[in-house]
Chains A and B, each alone.
Chain A
Amino acid sequence: MSRLVRAEWTKLFTTKVWLGLLLGACVMVAGFAVFFTAFAGNPEAGIPAVGTPLYEDLALSTAANANILFLILGIIGMTQEYRHRTATPTFLTAPQRGRVVTAKVIAYALVAALFALAVVAVNYLVVAVHAGALGAAPALDGDNVTTLASSLLALTIYAVIGVGLGALMRNQVGAIVGGLVYLFVVEPIIRSVPATAGAYKWMPGGAMEALTATLAGPELLGAWQGALVLLGYGLVAAVLGTFLAVRRDVA
């Protein structure tokens, strides 16, 4: 298994997709952090003032917004095998295809954890510098470290969900577009419609919100429950994908 995991890392780091996604995530998170800090204390924006615990909680969890890029990282990791037809040599090397999917889940979880560490570090540094300039840099105390760690965990799990979704769909463009539509259209609707809002806490977005919750919203699970639900989505997708899609004929 360690051979297959290392092979996945070689695949990932011998093209430049990872660099684009990592830089994109860092820039995106830095942008969000600057935005939140700039509007902190503005009564019309509804963002609490710099120096309050609620502001720090909010500004230090902007990293979680990069979840879509981590989802895409996982999706590409799985679907590139079909897009570029390297599934043939990959499955010739490892005829038990479940082992390939398992190796990808492990490889991408570990890489995503590393990338997420960079993203939350950027998140903290930008907030520390910007809020510091405004008079109150957040300390790396227990609460704030927990906030950052929650984002790190959420981003890591989203990469696993990406691998699972990619295994289910096999089609790269379809999986990415489906993921975007789901996260930015379907879930916001479920979240805001009263009839369905109760189910939102069980959805991936609701589970992530439970893990990294900040703004007021519908009822959510506890943080650790959210993490488990989120991870469950990723692993269930990977297992279903293995049996329903990946084991199909590679013609």
Chain B
Amino acid sequence: MRVEVRGLTKSFGQVRAVSDLGFTVEPGSVTGFLGPNGAGKTTTLRMMLGLVRPDAGGATFDGVPYAALPQPVRTVGAVLETAFHPARSGRNHLRVYCRAAGLPVSRADDVLAQVGLADAGRRKAGGYSLGMRQRLALATALLGDPAVLVLDEPANGLDPEGIQWLRGFIRHLAHDQGRTVLVSSHLLSEVEQTVDRVVIVGAGRLVREASMDQLRSGADGAGTVLVRSPEAARLAEVLRGTGSGEVSVDGDALTVQGRTPAEVGSRAFAAGVELHELRAHTSGLEEIYFRLTAGQEQFAAATTDQESAR
């Protein structure tokens, strides 16, 4: 199921929170929805799901707006909040929404097991840790076995192990099960290993919509390979001899331009050179994200003031 956002606009008083925002989320892939805090991500997601009324524009799920979906819970699952009635158990929380959506209440136990909360299901949600709340929110989203998942900062409050689990789980939902996944974050590094595409927003406007490969190729230092080898000097000779671009040596480390890690590796192997490290230089990705979004929060108020002054 394809999600399309077109012309989405929303102001809160004088502040333009989201401005003519449009993007597409494709099935079978994970799309990262990135931007600094205050860029309008949560407002956008809430507008897509009919919780906040847009001033203009809207979102559709295979052409149908959320409020018009015949079975919204079976179509779209969303993690927007980790707030629950503190005196109600996680399992009963899920059962409420099973009943409301006409699903068998046994789904509550299914999804609790899926997110690793089976043992805590009968405890009151008020006693849950932040990570358990995130898992319960995810379980709520999965109740209807939806084709689309919308996750707002799902890694918040998860411990490193939980984040690792979440990454694998999200990839599984999209790549193995073919679901459409949109996951928001204010950190590119947090979702870098998970997402296939990115939609980057700043100050409520679209900054960049691209695949991760496209983003990487535009990054500073893209196409640079870092190599470490006890025979760095000999490897440099080998690489220069095969017509590689720029090769620079610094102790046991080499920096190679214009070659992929695979190409460098196969040439080292052919020459019998021992390698201790071989990787693409990716730090530029964070830099390009920072450059794309830098200062956008501060601009938000200033831009609106100028617009209203005109």
Residues of A within 8 A of B (CB): 3-4, 6-7, 10-11, 14-17, 80, 84-86, 88-96, 249-251
Contacts and interface: CB of A to CB of B under 8 A. Distances in A.
B295 interface: no
B51 A94 contact: no
B85 A92 contact: no
A14 B80 contact: no
A138 B107 CA distance: 52
| B43, B67, B88, B96 pick with most chain A CB within 10 angstroms | B96
B50 interface: yes
Interface stretch (B97-105, B170-178, B242-250, B252-260): B97-105
B87 A16 contact: yes
Contacts of B84: 84, 86
For chain B, give the interface size range.
20 to 34
B6 interface: no
A14 B125 CA distance: 12
A19 B12 CA distance: 41
23 contacts: A3-B100, A6-B99, A7-B97, A7-B99, A10-B99, A14-B92, A14-B95, A84-B83, A84-B85, A86-B85, A88-B81, A89-B81, A89-B97, A90-B100, A92-B51, A92-B72, A93-B97, A93-B101, A95-B50, A95-B67, A96-B67, A250-B46, A251-B43
A16 B126 CA distance: 14
A149 B155 CA distance: 55
A249 B96 contact: no
B52 A15 contact: no
Contact of A93 (B52, B87, B100): B100
Given A15-B85, A88-B80, A249-B52, 12 more contacts: A3-B101, A3-B102, A7-B99, A10-B96, A16-B87, A84-B83, A84-B86, A85-B83, A92-B50, A93-B101, A96-B67, A251-B52
A249 B89 CA distance: 27
